[in-house]
Amino acid sequence: MSAAAPRFAPTVGLVSGLGILAAMAGLGWLMLPTNVATVLSALIGLALVAFVLGRLVGWSDRWMVIAIPLLWFLVFFLVPFFVLGRISLSEAIIARPPYSPLWETAPDGSIEILASLQNYAFILGDSLYRNAYLSSIQVAGISTIFALLIGYPIAYYIARAEEPKRSILLLMVILPFWTSFLLRVYAWIGFLRREGVINNILMWSGLIDEPLVMMQTPGAVYVGIVYTYLPFMILPLYATLVKLDGALLEAAGDLGASPMVTFFTITLPLSMPGIVAGSMLVFIPALGEYVIPALLGPSDMLMIGRTLWDEFFSSRDWPVASSVAIIMLILVVLPIMWLQSVQNRQEQR
Amino acid sequence: MTRRGWFLPIMATLGFGFLYAPIVSLVVFSFNESRLVTVWGGFSTRWYGELFNDGQMLAAAWISLKVATIAASMATVIGTLAAFVMTRFGAFKGKLLLTGMATAPLVMPEVITGLSLLLLFVAMESLLGWPAGRGLTTVVIAHATFCAAYVAVIAQSRLRDMDESLEEAARDLGAGPVRVFFDITLPVIAPALVSGWLLAFTLSLDDLVIASFVSGPGASTLPMVIFSKVRLGVSPDVNALASIIIGIVAVAVTIAGVLLMRQTKTLR
């Protein structure tokens, strides 16, 4: 029985899922009548389609349970990327929706293909976009290194700490993560601006006579990114470091290795999975970051997330914005695939 | 070990200082009389008063709470189902696809998620006539989708750690799969689902980028309103709002921490 999947009695799998949904939506109904009704009917519609389709094709009940999350993610996660790809092949036109069709039927019945790769050619040929990609990679990369340098000692310290202290420190790392990301970035404005906390302290102590210009500089963007994503670096590092066998370190010490040698030959290699995971969790969101450069950075600082945002909201050029997103997607997928292969290799060992 | 003796504590202290100094100053200056936010003008709670008289801010907060409640509930159902299917159903066609789709939102840059979902909604509207325009519904769907991925991760790790012999025993005693799920599996993974719901709620409440893409007129969420305010410079009532949020989170996390520590103590 262990390997076999549970056999679901007819339709109950589906009904139970819907039951929870209905109960939870009932909670929201008090707050938001019309919209919950819309969302709920969409969900029920989705489930009904899955159910009817399943009956027609002869799916087992097990498949009907699988269908709910599978269809949801298909429709609202995977399909959008195809729409994105399709629109990236269009041209911006003044209409609703503001992009050209991919083909046109001429009066004589022949079909003319209008899809083209011209947006990609435009983006890759334009130094503005190229620089935006490159500088995003640079900003994300440098921020990741700083987050690693700051996060590693903290993670190590927490992993070595004794029990009640360890849990408390861990909670302290997680706590800022639960507060608003936007407000944490905002806090830095108060810190860095001309009349901000840092300048006030430095002026008051007499170290400087003129306030330093820190806001709207690239440095402020680095600080903002490192600050925001530091918990994402610390947690995976902590998870690998806490599993580290202390006996290995003792053995190395007994055999005469200095703490430095022990660190570089034992601790660092063994914590590689945490370093890789943490770096990905910082690098990827930083690559597409919009809010931090918009609030803390100079207005001429090129970041690809910001370029995409402006292309969409200011220029209203949906096809170019889509192409920018597709290229960015490729930049994100490559490191993830690399990470996967690294992980697979480690598991094989 | 002597070298590490002073190096680590100092680095850790500096690190925690870096994490907390901006938050502390945010709270301190929310009680500042002066409008200049970072120049101390005496103690006052006047910005809290102004906050509670700011109609736009209150309306946006109400919208955000509604969106977060519904989106988190939907995300919990979808995420739990996804996790259950992935851990308990053995191999099936499309498992790799589901696993990929349920993990990818975690590492997707927000601008891409937001843009692609908006384009989907626009395409659906012109093809199917639904959703008519953008607003609360589209924000709820967008949030439910990316939050479901987070819930799935949490629920999955709990389902993997769980002792499956409990479920097997119940099945051997004649309980149907649905009964097993509701009588055994659900109670055991309930704490994970609660933390999953809370995480989804927080993420939804916090999201600016995706909401900016998929929202429509009359459905500005709280982060959208804060962002448009903050872009123009510092504003003391935002400090007051931040302090309230930080206060709620600190209390909740402390309670959760105390409960967790008690639990681990009794388990020992």
* pLDDT digits (tens), chain B, 268 positions: 444 578 888 888 888 888 888 888 888 888 887 776 666 777 888 888 888 888 888 899 999 998 999 899 899 999 999 999 998 888 888 888 888 888 888 888 899 999 999 999 988 888 777 777 788 888 999 999 999 999 999 999 889 888 888 888 888 888 888 788 888 888 888 888 888 998 899 999 999 999 999 998 888 999 999 998 888 877 788 888 888 888 888 888 888 778 877 776 665 5
CA distance B10 to B186: 44
Q: Is residue A110 part of a domain?
A: no
Of residues A25 and B97, the one with the higher pLDDT is B97
Range(s) of the domain holding residue B265: 238-268
Task: Say which residue, A184 or A344, is predicted with more confidence.
Answer: A184
CATH number, domain with residue B122: 1.10.3720.10
Q: How many domains does chain B have?
A: 2
pLDDT, tens only, B190-214: 888 888 998 899 999 999 999 999 9
Residue reference for tokens 């404005």 = A189
ipTM above 0.95, yes or no: no
With CA atoms as reference, report the closest residue to B245 among B27, B18, B22, B17: B27
In this structure, are residues B27 and A179 in contact, taking their beta carbons and an 8 Å threshold? no
End residue of a domain, out of A88, A110, A140: A88
B245 with A180: Cβ contact below 8 A: yes
Q: Kindly state whether residues A134 and A29 are assigned to the same domain.
A: no
Q: Do A6 and B180 touch (CB under 8 A)?
A: yes
Let me know whether A272 and A226 are in one domain: yes
Q: Does A193 touch chain B (CB under 8 A)?
A: yes
Across A16-30, A164-178, A231-245, A250-264, which has the greatest mean pLDDT?
A231-245
Whether the pLDDT of residue A43 is over 80: the answer is no
A300 with A167, same domain?
A: yes
Helix axes of B136-161 and A33-57: crossing angle, nearest 10 degrees: 60
* Residue that the structure tokens 């900003």 belong to: A139
Residue contact B101–A79, C-beta within 8 A: no
A40 versus A169: the higher-pLDDT residue is: A169
Q: Is residue A167 part of a domain?
A: yes
Q: Nearest by CB to A24, from B77, B84, B178: name it.
A: B77
Residue A198's Cβ-side half-sphere holds a number of Cα atoms within 13 Å equal to 17
Size of interface A-B (CB pairs under 8 A): 305
Model confidence pLDDT, tens digit, residues A61-113? 777 788 888 888 998 999 999 999 888 888 887 777 778 777 777 777 777 77
Asked whether the whole model's pTM tops 0.90, one would answer no
Structural domain containing residue A57: 12-88
* Residues B145 and B99 both lie in one domain: yes
Per-residue pLDDT, A196: 79
Say yes or no: B149 and B266 in one domain.
Answer: no
CATH number for position A285: 1.10.3720.10
